[in-house]
Amino acid sequence: MKKEILSNFGHLKKPRKCLMNFGEEYKHFLINSFIDYVSRWVIATLEHVDEIAIEGNLKFADPVYEMYKEERELNPKRILLTKPSKNYKQYIHLMITETSSDLHILNIVKGRLTLRKKTTNAVYQQYPMEEALYQLEQLSLEYQAKGYIEEPESILDAIMIPEDRVLDKAKWHYEGDFPEDLTKDAAYTATGMFITWLIKNNWFSEEIEHQFATEIEKVKQKQLTGAEFYRKCLDGVFSTQELADEIKPFVNEYLNIQKDIYIAEDYVHTFQGVGLTFYHVANIWENYDLIEPVIEQRFKEFWERIQKI
């Protein structure tokens, strides 16, 4: 009888026909057995599924969310938000870069993501750490209310970014939380000092060196600052497209917005206590002389590292 019951369970897609093959005494048995079978299957399945309660909504765990949760626990000072569109994802990357001063940098990076391209538009704001954390969380909530969702930062690594990219724009600074007591010229100073180092070491492309030969020579003779070259010759947009191929890997790493090594670490540390913010560092040659050996050391370390690869 047991074999007969089990064999008929294989035809449960036709339950009425199945029940007609048995007497009335087995109908209740089959129904109860079926309910018990389904209940056990559901319970067994749920025991193997992690459930996560998120703001009162029950969601099954998935690898992407688990990756995101682990990243957020390790680093609460960074949040990546995305919103899908038809052919790309809009993204907001909120990052707090700690500096050696009391004011830390809140980076607000916006752009679009595709499989082979990432556009970037950044704004920098400076706050004490508690205020920076508060602003980061508030911005995150604002964008989530607009339909953005949080994702792990690691999705950015999967994008095949072209070697040439825009690393800085002066307007990213003066259109952000820029000090009211300064003119827009101050937005060119930090990157301008790095450009000075590039010019002194002949790291611009042959095309740029030919096009702006007079201005480049003036920078080398300290008759024109790198910031002035940045504003007049590059229109306030600094891209690796204007550089020699050999230096691009170093520049891409050193001025990478997501890592922020040059500004947040080296520049702020070098000029700590000079002004209220890093924008208050004066565009003078005496200050360039302070940052030059720091850049040189970074380049030396980078070069030694890649030689071992």
**CB under 8 Å to 44, separation ≥6 — which residues?**
none
Instruction: Take residue 179 and report the two structure tokens written for it.
Output: 């000090």
Closest CA to 170 of 154, 157, 182: 182
Q: Is 234 helix (H, G, I), strand (E, B) or coil?
A: coil
pLDDT tier, 296 (very low <50, low <70, confident <90, very high otherwise): very high
More confident residue, 75 or 19: 75
**CB under 8 Å to 248, separation ≥6 — which residues?**
163, 164, 240
pLDDT tier, 115 (very low <50, low <70, confident <90, very high otherwise): low
pLDDT tier, 54 (very low <50, low <70, confident <90, very high otherwise): very low
More confident residue, 197 or 163: 197
Rounded to an integer, the average pLDDT of 129-152 is 91
| Cβ atoms < 10 Å from Cβ of 232 | 13
Distance CA 62, CA 51 (A): 10
More confident residue, 70 or 111: 111
**Please, what is the average pLDDT of the chain?**
78
